[in-house]
């Protein structure tokens, strides 16, 4: 009677395999959408509101500046100022 010994098989570690498949799929999708997908038209994104500059009607700024709601706003930041840009000679020791 012959005795047959089978080698014990190592279990397959699926996490690295799934990670590699995910990376390959991500690179594939990114390549397609960056280089091969049709580009959307800007009119589709922004809408088709085509207005020429000559058709615009400008509002008098005094109407906005004298508005009660505008005057009720308070400034959340101070006025911008010029800061110091550095030392006169940056190579001198402190």
Whether pLDDT at 17 is above 70: yes
> 59 pLDDT band (50/70/90 cuts)?
confident
Whether pLDDT at 48 is above 80: no
> 32 pLDDT band (50/70/90 cuts)?
very high
Averaged pLDDT for residues 67-76? 87
Torsion angle of alpha carbons 12, 18, 19, 23, nearest 10°? 140
Query: How far apart are alpha carbons 42 and 48 in whole angstroms?
Result: 9
Query: How far apart are alpha carbons 64 and 70 in whole angstroms?
Result: 7
User: What is residue 18's predicted lDDT score, i.e. its pLDDT?
Assistant: 96
Residue 76 per-residue DSSP state: S
Whether pLDDT at 20 is above 90: yes
User: What is residue 22's predicted lDDT score, i.e. its pLDDT?
Assistant: 98
> 49 pLDDT band (50/70/90 cuts)?
low
Q: How many residues are listed for the chain in this entry?
A: 94
pTM: 0.39
């Amino acid at each position: 009677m012959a005795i047959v010994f089978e080698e014990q098989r190592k279990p397959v570690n699926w996490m690295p395999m799934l990670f590699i498949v995910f990376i390959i799929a991500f690179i594939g999708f990114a390549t397609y959408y960056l280089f091969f997908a049709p580009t959307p038209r800007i009119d589709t994104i922004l809408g088709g509101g085509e207005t020429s500059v000559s058709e615009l009607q400008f509002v008098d700024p005094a109407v906005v500046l004298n508005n009660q709601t505008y005057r009720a706003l308070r400034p959340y930041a101070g006025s911008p100022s010029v800061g110091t840009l550095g030392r006169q000679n940056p190579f001198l020791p402190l």
